[in-house]
Structure 1
Amino acid sequence: MEDKHKEHKYTLDQYLSKAEHYICSCFNKNNGTNNIDRTPGGLLFIRQWNNMQYVSSATFLLIVYSDFLKSLNQKLNCHGVVSPEELFNLAKAQVDYILGSNPMNMSYLVGYGTKYPTRMHHRGASIVLYRENKGFIGCTQGYDNWYSREEPNPNVVVRALVGGFDCQDNFSDQRGNYMQTEACTYNTAPLVGVFAKLNQLGDKQEIPNLNLIASF
Structure 2
Amino acid sequence: MYNTLDSIYWSAKNYEADEIGEMVMNLSKFFRLSLNKGRQSFSLEESVSHLHYYIRIQQIRFLDSFTVEYRLDEASKSVPILKLLLQPLVENAILHGLEGKEEGGRLIISSWIEERRTVKISVRDNGKGMSEERLQYVQSELQLIARAHAPIVSADGEDWKDLFGLRNVLTRLKLYYGSEAAMMIESRLGEGTIVTLAIPLERCRDNPASDANVPADRGIGERTA
| TM-score normalised by L of structure 1 | 0.27
- Largest Rg, 1 or 2: 1
Higher RCO (CA < 8 A, seq sep 6+): 2
Relative to the length of structure 2, the TM-score reads 0.26
Which structure shows the bigger proportion of residues in strand conformation? 2
